[in-house]
Structure 1
Amino acid sequence: MQLKVLIIEDNFIIQMFLESIITDMGHEVANTVDNSEDALDFIEANKPNLILLDIGISGSRDGIETSQIIYEKYKIPVIFITGNSDESTLERAKKTKPIHIIHKPIDDHKLKSEFAGIFEKLNITS
């Protein structure tokens, strides 16, 4: 199954890196956005299958608040990507029920390995 993945990340270099890995694995990058408002507008109109979401995005809501809306309204699986490892932030993030949290820095081997486990959880072959 080919996934349609939305990337919500405000670092352009990381956006490009994630896009490359996802397409190399045979999945489609539906869009990349850098803030909550654009993300929620895109989700409403396009319903991606999976969302990669940076906790520290720009805009009026952080990634955790955005994930809570996605969980409650759309039930689309979310994978957090974060450079923040403080316990209180991670606990807030876990309350939104992400399917996984990927910690920065990441390289292509680590990311592909993490995706393999995530796809297994979702019963998807990559």
Structure 2
Amino acid sequence: MDKTAFDNICKTYEQQLDKVQEDALQDTIRLNREHTEQMNNLKAESEKKLEDLRSQLEAAKREQSELTVSVPDSKETFKAYLATAIDAAKRLCDFIDNNSADSNHDLFVAKAKQFFKKMTEEIV
């Protein structure tokens, strides 16, 4: 093989290598652009979903606050609370009386007295 043929082969090889490298570079650039576009789309989509969820949460909070409007205490409300408290106190006393043989009876009595004393102290 003469030098001219060898030079032509080398030149052809270099041209083909340059073309492959250029194609690879262009593919890499294209893939990077596509990837960046996909990432931007995903980011925008997730931000929109997050904003939608925040809006839904705020709407749910508003709805919940509307549902939990406090009822001002009135005479009827007081009567209901008092009836419940009296019933609970009677049940507690009955429980203590019915368990007089229990080893914890003295503890039950002491705790009940402590409770009733604390409740009467808190009433202003």
What is the TM-score with the length of structure 2 in the denominator? 0.19
What is the TM-score with the length of structure 1 in the denominator? 0.18
RCO comparison, higher one (Cα < 8 Å, 6+): 1
- Radius of gyration: which is bigger? 2
